[in-house]
Amino acid sequence: MVLTGLMGHVIDVEAHVARGLPGFTIVGLPDASLAEAKDRVRAAVASSGVEWPRHRITVNLSPASLPKSGSGTDLAIAVAVLAAAGVVDAALARDLVLLGELGLDGRVRPIRGVLPAIAAAVHAGATRAVVPAGNAAEAQLVSGARVDAAVALATVLGALGAEATAESLEPVPAPAARVRQVAVPDLADVRGQPLARHALEVAAAGGHHLLMVGPPGAGKTMLAERLPGILPDLDDAEAVRVTAVHSLAGAFDAAAGLMRRPPFEAPHHTASSAAIVGGGSGLARPGAASLAHAGVLFLDEAPEFPTRVVDTLRQPLERGEIVLHRAHGATRYPARFQLVLAANPCPCGMFAGTGEGCTCTSVVRRRYLARLSGPLLDRVDIRVEVGAAARADEPGEDTASVAARVQEARGAARERLAAQGWTLAGEASGPWLRRVTSRAACAGLWRAVERGALSARGFDRSLRLAWTLCDLEGASSPGVEHIAQALALREGTAS
Ligand SMILES: [Zn+2]
């Protein structure tokens, strides 16, 4: 199996054993790590107490047109060579999907991306697979195939009829997953901030992108981190997709099962474009935008992100996926996330209300937030000012209560939009919304357009927001007051 993005392709590994000078060649576009596979495979076979065939051996990985990289084909190469040499039963090995890297000591070592690889193998009709013991829990999350866990090459060869010495070896555990954000913190921790809390709820209900502007320490990060908690669980298909992306990035703990909750990713503004949209040599790795798929991508201090990095987010915002162009073709990763931006009001961070304590000139201030304009800000439906943290002692409403309202509003939107193929208010098209919204309600928006306060794009975005507000209230269609609220949320003047 090789993976191109989340797409798995079954690779046929064939070996040919001929008389002649002993040698070992692998063909079919091998990259540097495949060349090293030769040494690993030979050593692992020797460590398993099986003699390496003294023949001219050619291994062919097909189709040749697919780029292959990584060490996940070691196990398949070893079995193919020994099947061609008659050491293992070729008939038993024929339809087996074999995944795993081999250690020099003969152990089968875990690899990345086992979940999407097994899912693709099942899709291609495979019914039996052997995976590294360290990846077994992950592989077993996919139904449809019998998956055997291999600790050592010797046991795999033994099961296929070879006389191998299976010493008792400890399984190689999967590398500790870089799992961040285990438990999502509760909204009850956020004291005061009624406006920002409301904005967060509306964003969750309609799938709207959100910008929070406020001084450092006002609680913007606290609020953003609590957004995933008020979003509903992922459905089955989305859970597998999200888990698969995290498996590829090595950021997934199989013991916790499929990822059922929306992820939260918060790349730092010094992160490279590759860290955000994905890339790297060999197997292109998914970046933060893909790890945030079906969840939240949070850019704190958003104006500090370099323009070139921000520009790379344009494609996922428009298409919900990222296409990475590689030497041997394109790699696609899903990247439909909810964007949350946070910004200080000015470079010194102190400008608020009266502007007392701020050392920035008005020009500097304007330029600072203007850095956010363009592709990102264009897509942000809600802008909210987050004031200095209130000193109120009473805890805020908890996550569960807000999540219940969000769930209900989403249900109403889904029902209304089902015939159009949309699920969230934030996805509905402008022309359609204009047709189904009352003339009286739209009048407020037209007035805003006339006085130059709203662009055509802004018109549709405000309309979407008004529908979300109406869904949250359980109303059947937005009225004048929803439109007014939507305009205020969009312009950051809600009070
Ligand atoms: Zn300032």
Handedness of CA 246, 5, 123, 236 (dihedral sign): positive
Shared-domain flag, residues 331 and 405: no
Q: Please give the average per-residue pLDDT across 356-377, as a whole number.
A: 79
| Residue 205 forms part of a structural domain | no
Q: What is the CATH number of the domain that holds 38?
A: 3.30.230.10
SS3 content of the chain, % helix, strand, coil (to 5): 40, 15, 40
Q: Report CA(267)–ligand 1 centroid distance (Å).
A: 24
Express as a percent the part of the chain with pLDDT over 70: 89
- pLDDT value at 361 more than 50: yes
**Who contacts 451 (Cβ-Cβ below 8 Å, separation ≥6)?**
none
For the stretch 92-127, pLDDT in tens is 888 889 999 999 999 999 988 888 888 888 888 888
> Rounded CA gap, 144 and 142, in Å?
7
180 pLDDT band, cuts 50/70/90, is very low
Q: What amino acid is encoded at 277 in this protein?
A: V
Domain count, the chain: 3
Q: Report CA(347)–ligand 1 centroid distance (Å).
A: 5
> Rounded CA gap, 62 and 11, in Å?
6
Domain boundary among 363, 393, 423: 393
What is the three-class DSSP state of 249?
coil
Q: Report CA(280)–ligand 1 centroid distance (Å).
A: 38
Q: What amino acid is encoded at 438 in this protein?
A: S
Q: Report CA(470)–ligand 1 centroid distance (Å).
A: 37
DSSP-derived secondary structure letter, 54: -
- pLDDT value at 29 more than 60: no
Domain boundary among 331, 366, 393: 393
Shared-domain flag, residues 422 and 380: no
What is the three-class DSSP state of 377?
helix
Do 467 and 433 touch, CB atoms closer than 8 A? yes
Beta bridge partners of 257: none
Q: Report CA(192)–ligand 1 centroid distance (Å).
A: 24
| Residue 172 forms part of a structural domain | no
Shared-domain flag, residues 430 and 462: yes
Q: What amino acid is encoded at 254 in this protein?
A: A
- pLDDT value at 283 more than 60: no
The residue behind tokens 């052997």 is: 130
Do 292 and 264 touch, CB atoms closer than 8 A? yes
Q: Report CA(218)–ligand 1 centroid distance (Å).
A: 15
| Residue 469 forms part of a structural domain | yes
| Residue 61 forms part of a structural domain | yes
Handedness of CA 318, 324, 330, 331 (dihedral sign): negative
Shared-domain flag, residues 423 and 356: no
Count of all residues that appear for the chain in the document: 495
> Rounded CA gap, 493 and 495, in Å?
6
Q: Report CA(357)–ligand 1 centroid distance (Å).
A: 8
Shared-domain flag, residues 7 and 146: yes
| Residue 446 forms part of a structural domain | yes
Per-residue model confidence (pLDDT) at position 181: 45
Alpha helices in 124-191 (DSSP H): 136-139, 153-159
| Residue 165 forms part of a structural domain | no
Q: Report CA(394)–ligand 1 centroid distance (Å).
A: 31
Q: Report CA(355)–ligand 1 centroid distance (Å).
A: 8
* Residues surrounding ion ligand 1 at CB below 5 Å: 346, 348, 350-351, 358, 360
Per-residue model confidence (pLDDT) at position 449: 87
Name the nearest CA neighbour of 97 among 116, 470, 86, 85: 116
Domain boundary among 368, 393, 418: 393
What is the three-class DSSP state of 250?
coil
Q: Report CA(345)–ligand 1 centroid distance (Å).
A: 7
Pick the range with the lowest mean pLDDT from 66-75, 400-409, 429-438, 468-477: 66-75
Q: Report CA(368)–ligand 1 centroid distance (Å).
A: 10
Q: Please give the average per-residue pLDDT across 421-436, as a whole number.
A: 88
Shared-domain flag, residues 363 and 259: yes
Shared-domain flag, residues 82 and 147: yes
Q: Report CA(222)–ligand 1 centroid distance (Å).
A: 22
| Residue 314 forms part of a structural domain | yes
CA atoms within a 13 Å half-sphere pointing along the CA-CB vector of 337: 35
Shared-domain flag, residues 387 and 415: no
Shared-domain flag, residues 147 and 182: no
Shared-domain flag, residues 60 and 141: yes
| Residue 201 forms part of a structural domain | no
> Rounded CA gap, 386 and 200, in Å?
11
pLDDT averaged over every residue in the chain: 86
Residues spanned by the domain of 87: 2-159
**Do you find a cis peptide bond into 63, omega within 30 degrees of 0?**
yes
> Rounded CA gap, 112 and 356, in Å?
53
Beta bridge partners of 2: 9
Do 286 and 334 touch, CB atoms closer than 8 A? no
Shared-domain flag, residues 328 and 377: yes
Shared-domain flag, residues 406 and 323: no
- pLDDT value at 34 more than 70: no
Q: Report CA(186)–ligand 1 centroid distance (Å).
A: 31
